A and B are shown apart, each in its own frame.
Chain A
Amino acid sequence: MKTKKTHVLLCALGILIQFISCVKDVDFDQVEDIALTPVYEVDFVYSKFDTNEFIDPDLDPAISIPEVIISDTLNYDLLGTDFVVDNLERVELTFEFKNTIQRDFEFDFGFLDENNQRIGPLYSMIAESGNGEGTDPVITTEVIVLDTNAINILSNAAKLVSSIQVQNVNSSLDGILELRSKGTYFINYEL
């Protein structure tokens, strides 16, 4: 009989184990601290200019044009959805100019809302002059940081306006200006 008692005891223990099972050494409050912090790299704008886009090559080189402006407007939803606006910590816009044209260029851009009203500032930067066609391009890099304030202001952006300006051009100028850029989006999403 003694062994039978042991058996019963063992079985009771077996059943008991199933009821006393628990979850230990864990702290589910840590859920509060979970933050997703992905960083996304996304292309922004690009462009490429030959001098003959600014000036007619057949024009007498003696004639100097004081200023040429090329400007453009395009539909652009910078920040996508509310989710992105609410959880975006910072955007870094990086611009890279490669210039062989012997002139400085000014590059400006800004944002419009759906009613074509300007929101936020006009961002402006100078691409330094190059050393002429066939030389190594002069590289200018600019970074514009949009913080949460700027992001909130720009949350209704619907269009992007941009322009390139150059002064004192004539038909003897040669070379190429290239613009490449990207946005680095820093998300901080807390559960």
Chain B
Amino acid sequence: MRVFVFLLIGLWGCFVYSQNKETLYDFVDLPQSLMLNPGAEVNFDYHAGVPFLSHFHLNAGLRGGSLYDIFADDGRDINDKIETTLNKLTSNDYLTTTQQLEFVNLGWKSKKNNKIYFSGGIYQELDVIGYFPKDFAVLAYQGNQEFLNRPFRFSNISGSSELLTVYHFGYNKKVNKKLIFGARAKLYSSIFHVRSARNRGTFTTIETPQGDNIYQHIISNADVTVRTSGYTSLKELEGKEVVNKLVGRALLGGNLGLGIDLGFTHKVNEQLSITGSANDLGLILYSKDVETYKAQGNYVFEGFETPIQFSGEDSQNFLDELEEAIPLDTLSKAYITMRPLKLNGSIKYSFNRYDDGTCDCYIEGEQPPYMDAFGVQLFTQFRPKRPQYAASLFYYKRLFNFLRTKLTYTIDDYSYYNVGFLLSTHIKKINFYISANNLLEYPNLAKARGISLQFGFNVIM
């Protein structure tokens, strides 16, 4: 209980975000842009990510509140602040965390056809989203006394969490001067998955002036399902066995799935380009180590009828009755879930070509690069309740050959003031990049509702 409350409050507004990587999208100096759009422009012959260090991504946040709302050092009683925040949050507010770590990322230009670029690798991903279970938070924090005759809805319980490894291989082709097309096949190996969504039913305490007792406590049309996979077999294991089991699942021993990323870059002219991509269009079949918990039914409780005459019968047992009315079934039937589909799109205008004739800041034989670009990007991610959206304005600046940057301004579910910045250094073949958003919030992270951070090392030729 304590841990749960801690987590709930601690994670409230610590961080917020979806999987939007607005600074990295279409940042074609980095091979990681191919992970967001397999049809991105490729201007290098070969790349290799430094194993385990080529891409780390953390993206977390909360829609609806921040740490500051609860823990502000303002002399007010913390319980008042919790109550205020509780009243402000709705069941559409959520907490999300995404973390990714690339183990391997390699790419090379085809020897037979220099218009084709292959890339592949392995990464691990943790994806968590939990909607705020407002009605049950109210029930736990305030009780039912002030909420008589008002239903507490089981539909408030919604969330999912998954840990998986992804094996991928991508194909990128310059179809002609105006079009680049790309696709990436993905094989998912799910290590752990839990999901509860589309629950139904209500719990209500109604006043019954004409009834047998003062109230009726009614569970109506309850239909609550929690699906898990990869959980049951871990329960009995300890320490090292758990680690071995998890590693085994990461190495394709988990529940497997297939998916695809698709993307394109369309060059309207030399300077104007349009891009689009769909990521993780796929599904996972959960058939191993599956346990689904399901509770369905109706129940009315109105106290105990006593004393009654001739009470020769067995007395009521409230818990037995409840279990009979709303049985909890444990099923092990296989199930399928879609991966959270992400869509990206952008329009980019490049200008200020570095072309004064004295330049040595681009690789010989290539077109001189544009030093500046600006444009618009859109992002959507499908989630259990409804899609998340984001729109960004961006400015790309190649300060030097060894230092390239991108500044973004994003409007999304969490805030209207999200400024992001990406810095990429290219010293000889060695590349390092770091990116973060919500920079305006950095002076005081407690007020931030979300942070996204990416960094990594590559060798790019």
Contact = CB atoms under 8 A, between A and B. Distances in A.
Interface size class of A (residues with CB under 8 A): 35 or more
Interface residues of B, number: 59
B73 interface: yes
A46 B205 CA distance: 16
Interface stretch (A56-64, A125-133, A147-155, A160-168): A160-168
Given A17-B442, A36-B141, A48-B212, A70 B304 contact: no
Nearest to A162: B307
Contacts of A74: 304, 306, 311, 315-316
A187 to B, nearest CB: 7
Nearest to A159: B315
Interface in A8-24: 8, 11, 14-15, 17-18, 20-24
Given A23-B445, A26-B68, A41-B215, A70 B307 contact: yes
A30 interface: yes
Contacts of A123: none
Nearest to B138: A38
A35 B79 contact: yes
Interface in B73-97: 73-74, 77-79, 82
A159 to B, nearest CB: 9
A3 to B, nearest CB: 10
Interface stretch (B142-150, B161-169, B279-287): B142-150
A28 B366 CA distance: 56
B357 interface: no
Contacts of A162: 306-307
Contacts of B205: 41
A173 B91 CA distance: 57
B443 A180 contact: no
Contacts of A8: 399, 403
Nearest to A72: B307
A143 interface: no
B31 to A, nearest CB: 22
Interface in B1-41: 1-2, 5-6, 9
Nearest to B442: A21
Given A46-B303, A75-B317, A11 B399 contact: yes
Nearest to A40: B143
A96 interface: yes
Given A7-B399, A11-B423, A21-B445, A181 B73 contact: no
A100 to B, nearest CB: 16
Nearest to A42: B217
A46 B142 contact: no
B144 A41 contact: yes
Nearest to B207: A41
Given A40-B145, A74-B315, A27 B303 contact: no
A115 interface: no
A187 B73 contact: no
Contacts of A117: none
A94 B303 CA distance: 13
B446 A25 contact: yes
Contact of B79 (A23, A34, A73, A181): A34
Contacts of B316: 74-75
A53 interface: yes
Interface in B188-210: 205
A43 interface: yes
A144 to B, nearest CB: 15
Given A25-B68, A187-B143, A45 B9 contact: no
B213 A23 contact: no
B444 interface: yes
Nearest to B81: A30
> Which of B82, B306, B445, B446 has most chain A Cβ within 10 Å?
B306
A180 B405 CA distance: 73
Contacts of B77: 33
6 contacts: A15-B434, A75-B315, A180-B214, A181-B213, A181-B214, A182-B213
Given A21-B445, A41-B205, 6 more contacts: A17-B443, A26-B72, A42-B217, A43-B214, A44-B303, A191-B2
Interface of A: 4, 7-8, 11, 14-15, 17-18, 20-28, 30-31, 33-49, 53, 70-76, 83, 94, 96, 160, 162-164, 180-182, 184-185, 187, 189, 191
